[in-house]
Amino acid sequence: MSEATAVESSKAVIEVRNLTKDRESFLRKPLRVLDGLSLKVEKGMTYGLVGPNGAGKTTTIKLLLGLLRADQGSIAVLGAPPGDKAALCKIGFLPESPYFYSHLTGREFLTFSGQLFGLSGKALNERIEQLLATVSLQKKADERTGRYSKGMLQRLGLAQALINDPELLFLDEPMSGLDPIGRMDMRRIIEDLKKGGKTVFFNSHLLPDVAALCERVGLLSGGKLLAEAAIEEISPQRDARALEEFFLKHIDTPAQEVAT
Ligand X SMILES: Nc1ncnc2c1ncn2[C@@H]1O[C@H](COP(=O)(O)OP(=O)(O)OP(=O)(O)O)[C@@H](O)[C@H]1O
Which parts of this chain interact with ligand X (CB under 6 A)?
Answer: 23-24, 33, 51, 53-59, 96
Q: Nearest to residue 92, comparing CAs of 105, 73, 78?
A: 78
Q: How many CB atoms lie within 10 A of CB 237?
A: 11
Q: Find which of ligand X, Mg ion, none residue 146 binds, CB within 5 to 8 Å per kind.
A: none
Q: Residue 55 Cβ, how far from Mg ion at the closest point, in Å?
A: 8
In the bound state with ligand X, the residue whose beta carbon lies nearer, of 79 and 177, is 177
Euclidean distance between the first and the last CA atom of the chain, given in angstroms as a whole number: 47
Q: Find which of ligand X, Mg ion, none residue 114 binds, CB within 5 to 8 Å per kind.
A: none
Q: Find which of ligand X, Mg ion, none residue 23 binds, CB within 5 to 8 Å per kind.
A: ligand X
The site for Mg ion, by CB under 5 A, has a size of 3
State the Cα–Cα distance between residues 54 and 170, nearest whole angstrom: 18
Q: Does residue 204 belong to the site contacting Mg ion (CB under 5 A)? A: no
Give the neighbor-by-neighbor strand order of the sheet with 30-42: 30-42, 12-24, 72-77
In the bound state with Mg ion, the residue whose beta carbon lies nearer, of 58 and 111, is 58
Judged by CB under 5 A, the residue of 33, 46, 58, 141 near Mg ion is: 58
Q: Find which of ligand X, Mg ion, none residue 33 binds, CB within 5 to 8 Å per kind.
A: ligand X
Print the binding letters for residues 68-107 with Mg ion: x by CB under 5 A, - otherwise.
----------------------------x-----------
Q: Residue 96 Cβ, how far from Mg ion at the closest point, in Å?
A: 5
Q: Nearest to residue 51, comparing CAs of 39, 66, 43?
A: 39
Q: Residue 60 Cβ, how far from ligand X at the closest point, in Å?
A: 7
Q: Residue 178 Cβ, how far from Mg ion at the closest point, in Å?
A: 16
Q: Residue 28 Cβ, how far from ligand X at the closest point, in Å?
A: 10
Q: Residue 109 Cβ, how far from ligand X at the closest point, in Å?
A: 24
In the bound state with ligand X, the residue whose beta carbon lies nearer, of 33 and 152, is 33
Q: Does residue 176 belong to the site contacting Mg ion (CB under 5 A)? A: no
Q: Measured between alpha carbons, how far is residue 247 from residues 52, 126, 221, 241 in Å?
A: 10, 43, 10, 10
In the bound state with ligand X, the residue whose beta carbon lies nearer, of 71 and 167, is 71
* Identity of the amino acid at 246: F
Q: Where are the beta strands (DSSP E) in the chain?
A: 12-24, 30-42, 46-50, 72-77, 91-94, 168-172, 199-203, 216-221, 224-230
State the Cα–Cα distance between residues 169 and 159, nearest whole angstrom: 12
Q: Are 169 and 64 in contact (CB under 8 A)?
A: no
Q: Nearest to residue 228, comparing CAs of 239, 215, 240?
A: 215
For Mg ion, the binding residues (CB under 5 A) are: 57-58, 96
